[in-house]
Amino acid sequence: MATRVACIGECMMELSERPDGSLLRGYGGDTLNTALYLARLGVAVDYVTALGDDPWSEEMLAAWAAEGVGTAQVRRLPGRMPGLYIIRTDDKGERSFHYWRDSAAARDLFSGPGAAETRAALADYDLVYASGISLSLYGEAGRGALAETCRAVQARGGRVAFDTNYRPRGWPDKAKAQSAFRDAMAAADLIFASSEDLEWLYGPEGEEEVLRHHGRCEIVLKGSGSPPSVRVLAGSDDVTVPASPVAAVVDTTAAGDSFAAAYMAARLAGRPPAAAAACGHRLAGAVIGHRGAVIPRSAMPDLPLATEQGRP
């Protein structure tokens, strides 16, 4: 029986402003990007979120299903809609993001009608993946419900993965973010951490916040050098895996999301941590060579994944 993965988070409508002021519509979300790449790599993955009953929610569901992502755990909330953000690019190529998401349906995933059913369904997955952005969606009660759900996953023999994606805009109270991230890292079996995220959140000693979990869980710590490297700590192993230089970096969107997907796919296929990190680098390297978060299928690299899925 194939390993079942659940990715928890939010997908928002995306409007990109063109030079003439017109807008190009799409959609995006960090854990959704990871789910899409997991599906392309042959992993049985469901996306777990809440959407409305509007036409754009329908479009999202159809697009995810076309990519092979399971949508059975997407809650539909009547009268609600997804969040929205606009990307504006200045004359120097720098992008700015402007959000309308306070009433997005995804914020109520762990509250209201259907929340109990969502939590019960999640407990049956083999691997549950969430990010710091996922945590920012929910209030204290919602984060508590998510934490309790993750404990239920682990009690049934499943595992929990957490990515430290930190976006200050999503956390008006930095102290709450620091506390929520500490709790999430302490509860995770696999942590994807960025030294940049940790420094933004905790200051110069940020890496110590994740390294204290060495020996208790598997840690993938991404550095900020060029080309990037990751430090992988699993059991007694502590190795650094560098990435190969990329000829031309076009767009770094979803580099970390795709890395996490390839790493988890490789680990689920039975590859050791260092080999999984190399797979992550290869997919991320392909992604940053294209514009947008999701590259054409024809651009997907042939990763050396085992054919039989195992457990990480």
Catalytic residue (one of 46, 163, 257, 302)? 257
Do the beta carbons of residue 11 and residue 82 sit within 8 Å?
yes
Which strands, in side-by-side order, build the sheet including 237-242?
44-48, 4-8, 127-131, 159-163, 190-194, 218-222, 229-234, 237-242
CA 186/CA 210 separation, integer angstroms: 9
Tokens representing 126 are 């083999």
Report the alpha-carbon angle 150-125-182, nearest 5: 25
Tokens, residue 94: 């720098």
Closest CA to 191 of 268, 276, 130: 130
Instruction: Return the closest-CA partner of residue 210 out of 237, 242, 233.
Output: 233
Judge residue 308's burial from the number of C-beta atoms within 10 Å of its C-beta, 0-12 exposed, 13-18 middle, 19 or more buried: exposed
Whether 34 and 262 have beta carbons less than 8 Å apart is answered as: no
Q: Is 30 a catalytic residue?
A: no
Closest to 128 measured CA to CA, from 150, 96, 99, 151: 150
As a residue count, the chain comes to 312
Report the phi/psi class of residue 76: left, alpha or beta, with left for phi > 0 and alpha for psi in -120 to 50. beta
Q: Of 260, 258, 310, 271, which is closest to residue 3 (Cα–Cα)?
A: 310
Residues with active-site annotation: 257
